[in-house]
Amino acid sequence: MPDQHPRLCSIANSLAVVGERWSLLVLREVFFGVRRFDGIAAHTGASRSVLAIRLKKLVEHGILSKELYETHPPRYEYTPTEAGRALQPLLLALMEWGDHYVTEGEPPTAYRHDCGAVLHPRTVCGSCGEPLHSDSTHPLRIGGIPLPEAS
Tens digits of residue pLDDT in 65-99: 999 999 999 999 999 999 999 999 999 999 999 99
Domain span including residue 72: 10-145
Per-residue pLDDT at 27 exceeds 80: yes
Q: Of how many residues is the chain composed?
A: 151
Domain count, the chain: 1
Per-residue pLDDT at 1 exceeds 80: no
CATH number at residue 79: 1.10.10.10
Per-residue pLDDT at 151 exceeds 50: no
Tell me, letter by letter, the H, E, C secondary structure of the chain. CCCCCCCCCHHHHHHHHHCCCCHHHHHHHHHCCCCEHHHHHHHHCCCHHHHHHHHHHHHHCCCEEEEEEECCCCEEEEEECHHHHCCHHHHHHHHHHHHHHCCCCCCCCCCECCCCCECCCCCECCCCCCECCHHHCCCCEECCEECHHHC
Q: What is the pLDDT of residue 117?
A: 97
Q: What is the pLDDT of residue 59?
A: 98
Is the residue at 2 inside a domain?
no
Per-residue pLDDT at 141 exceeds 60: yes
φ, ψ (nearest 5 deg) of residue 81: -85, -175
Predicted TM-score (pTM) of this structure: 0.88
Is the residue at 4 inside a domain?
no
Is the residue at 97 inside a domain?
yes
Is the residue at 151 inside a domain?
no
Tens digits of residue pLDDT in 4-25: 778 888 999 999 999 999 999 9
